[in-house]
Amino acid sequence: MTDSSTPLPPAGWYRDPAGGAAPRWWNGTAWAAANTVPADATPLPTPAAAATPAPAATAGSVPPVTPAAPAAPAAPAAPATTPGTYAAVPPTPSYAAAAPTAASGTGTNTGTNTWQIWVIVLMPLLAIPALFMIDSAAFLPQPGDDALSSQLRLYSDPGYLFTMVWGWVTFIANIFLGIYDRRALMNRGVDRPFHWAFIFLGGFIYTIGRSVIVRSRTGQGLAPLWVSLAVQVFGLVAAFVFLANVVTSVMTTF
């Protein structure tokens, strides 16, 4: 039944409400068949013709209306899962498979025992053989010697001269070795290594401080300390043997 209070649009060509590409004839009360031109229809409008107002809807027929904008596509429904089953989850890597990282305090895995520290540690060994080359009689005054003659005889002894000169060479060389050793440690990533100026207190003191600092920074680097301790013990034994020879010479002379 048609609502008499709602006026219907006049007869004419309108957009097909069924979605067809060709316009469709509206005779004022009902739609003509699709893709047909009724006898009472007016000629088809040109494409440039202005659109006419859409007729209002009625209960008995569908008036022409302007189609609404297409709705947004609905989101695909989530696939149903079978009860009692779970989606496959990729296995997580274990802690044991994690890639190893460099130890903190060093940027690389390079060792901390530079060639400079080994030279500092081992150089005192070269002075030990010269110690036994010293003539113990040079320390004892000879009959008829004055004070100057005794001193000249001591300083003219080859073993004593070599020991004195080698001591100064070792001291000066240790300064440069300490500088380059600290620089090498910094290049290898050791944070704030032991300062080279402690070399003025002796190579053994520098080796102790350096080894302790390197150990606290990297967890390694104590080998030079143990070798230096062995060299010092060997040097003390050699010094006691030399002093025993001097005492024996004194007791024999007097």
Q: What pLDDT does residue 94 have?
A: 52
3-class state of residue 14 by DSSP? strand
Tell me, yes or no, if the pTM score tops 0.85: no
Helix (H) or strand (E) holding 119: helix 115-122
Question: Residue 86: what pLDDT?
Answer: 47
Q: Please give the sequence-ordered ranges of beta strands (E in DSSP) within the chain, or none if there are none.
A: 12-14, 24-26
Tell me what pLDDT residue 69 has.
52
CA dist 31 and 57 (Å) reads 12
Which pLDDT belongs to residue 232? 94
According to the model, what pLDDT value does residue 50 have? 47
* Amino acid, single-letter form, for residue 103: A
Give the pLDDT score at 163.
Answer: 86
User: What's residue 97's pLDDT?
Assistant: 44
User: What does the pLDDT read at residue 253?
Assistant: 66
140-179 CB burial, b ≥16 within 10 A, e <16: beeeeeeeeeeeebeeebebbebbeeeeeebeebbeebbe
| Contact assessment for residue 130 and residue 170, using Cβ atoms and an 8 Å cutoff | no
Structural tokens at position 74: 């609905």
Backbone angles phi, psi at 12, to 5 degrees: 165, 180
- pLDDT of amino acid 105: 44
pLDDT per position in the chain (254 positions), as tens?
Answer: 455 567 788 888 788 887 777 888 887 788 777 777 776 777 776 655 444 555 544 444 555 555 555 555 455 555 544 444 444 455 555 544 444 444 444 444 458 889 999 999 999 998 888 888 887 776 666 666 666 776 777 777 788 888 889 989 999 999 999 999 999 999 988 889 999 999 999 999 999 999 999 999 888 889 999 999 999 999 999 989 988 887 887 777 66
Q: Which residues contact 54 (CB under 8 A, 6 or more apart)?
A: 9, 14, 63, 64, 65, 66
